[in-house]
């Protein structure tokens, strides 16, 4: 992979990155104000951000954390997952989803995806259940919700905890309800490339006050109460460590940035959707290219626009298209290299029973095109031109 030569079709003066954050004066002012306040770590802005996210997502408990990766770990622990348990998850996800399971001491069990939405296939989930299954982590890949209602219907009667990985799907909806309150817990990402950003950062949401309390405690060293209050006029010096936890909380500068971005979330999502529709209209019907779609029962967050390139019809397949994009100063990416392809999974002696055919087929064909709210119409047209010309040149 990666050794295919690309062809130049257009002249660009500068490189178009795969993603460019949309930051303005409001974000700069908010962060500056916090720096001047002296609160550089967990403080009142973190609490304000969590409450604002809860209102936006219509969920009673929203706990900001340092990243979605840390959120997955503390949420699993809050749900009682530990050594001896099995956790089912798709192989088509970022390593953080797997890492959270392993760091809990549990055994990851990989299952295949539904190619229509790239999320965990409910039938594959059901087939992977054993008496030791404690939890399942459905992933809402690229911003399209997976078939979460079917997964919940399988899990709940069996007492299996459901933790949604919605790192790509802030603002996405299932039958008119935003993700965040459908299952036992949901984790979002505010990394630089995500739907909204706090630089780094994440969020754990839940309807269960006890799960929220445990997430709060575990992410703050296992300390009872809010440590930031120790340094206010209403605080107290005494605290107790009620369990072994981690330092995985968010800080006020990041929360201040996140608050401004949250206020722009609907604006960002509208623009991403417009760009996705423009790509869809311009690239429809091209030989060897399959475009992403949104099911009628959901609202797609359009975090990614991931197309599929038929290797049998297009010379060089996905890698050839990537080479042509690169030759024309356009960034792209692949989401993701399946977990079972990585040495760390094999060396850990993990096993998965079925061949993950849909996952492997998707990976062989997938390329994510640039998509971000500040893309100009000319940048969109450049991407379209290069993809069309690449396919024309390479079509067998």
Residues with a catalytic annotation lie at 194
Beta-carbon neighbour count of residue 38 at 10 Å?
9
Contact 225, 200 (CB under 8 A): no
- The whole-angstrom separation of Cα 211 and Cα 201 is 19
Contact 102, 74 (CB under 8 A): no
- Tell me the torsion sign for CA atoms 266, 268, 269, 271: positive
Helix (H, G, I), strand (E, B) or coil at 120: strand
State phi, psi for 176 to the nearest 5 degrees: 85, 0
Beta-carbon neighbour count of residue 99 at 10 Å?
16
Beta-carbon neighbour count of residue 302 at 10 Å?
28
How many CA atoms within 13 Å lie on the side-chain side of 295? 20
Tokens for 355, please give them.
Answer: 């061949």
Pairing of strands 161-165, 133-136: parallel
């Amino acid at each position: 992979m990666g050794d295919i030569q690309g062809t130049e079709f257009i002249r660009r003066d500068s490189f178009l990155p795969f993603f460019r954050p949309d930051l303005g004066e409001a974000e700069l002012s908010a962060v500056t104000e916090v720096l001047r306040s002296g609160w550089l770590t967990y403080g009142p802005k973190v609490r304000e951000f969590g409450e604002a996210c809860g209102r936006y997502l219509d969920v009673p408990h929203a706990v900001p954390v340092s990243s979605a990766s840390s959120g997955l770990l503390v949420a699993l622990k809050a749900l009682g997952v530990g050594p001896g348990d099995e956790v089912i998850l798709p192989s088509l996800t970022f390593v953080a989803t797997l890492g959270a399971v392993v760091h809990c001491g549990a055994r990851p069990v990989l299952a295949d995806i539904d190619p229509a939405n790239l999320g965990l296939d409910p039938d594959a989930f059901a087939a992977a259940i054993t008496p030791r299954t404690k939890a399942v982590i459905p992933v809402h890949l690229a911003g399209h919700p997976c078939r979460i209602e079917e997964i919940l219907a399988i899990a709940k009667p069996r007492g299996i905890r459901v933790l949604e990985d919605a790192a790509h799907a802030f603002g996405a909806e299932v039958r008119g309800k935003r993700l965040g309150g459908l299952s036992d817990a949901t984790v979002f990402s505010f990394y630089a490339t995500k739907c909204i950003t706090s630089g780094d950062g994440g969020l754990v949401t839940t309807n269960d006050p006890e799960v929220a309390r445990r997430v709060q405690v575990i992410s703050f060293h296992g300390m009872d109460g809010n440590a930031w209050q120790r340094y206010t006029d209403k605080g107290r010096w005494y605290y107790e460590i009620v369990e072994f936890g981690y330092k995985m909380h968010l800080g006020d500068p990041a929360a201040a940035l996140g608050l401004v971005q949250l206020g722009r979330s609907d604006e960002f999502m509208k623009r991403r959707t417009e760009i996705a529709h423009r790509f869809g209209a311009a690239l429809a019907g091209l030989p060897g290219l399959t475009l992403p779609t949104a099911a009628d029962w959901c609202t797609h967050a359009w975090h990614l626009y991931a197309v599929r390139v038929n290797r049998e019809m297009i010379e060089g397949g996905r890698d050839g298209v990537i080479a042509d994009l690169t030759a024309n100063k356009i960034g792209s990416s692949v989401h993701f290299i399946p977990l079972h392809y990585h040495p760390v999974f094999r060396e850990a002696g993990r096993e998965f029973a079925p061949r993950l055919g849909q996952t492997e087929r998707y990976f062989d064909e997938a390329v994510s095109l640039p998509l971000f709210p500040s893309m100009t119409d000319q940048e969109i047209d450049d991407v379209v031109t290069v993809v069309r010309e690449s396919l024309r040149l390479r079509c067998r």
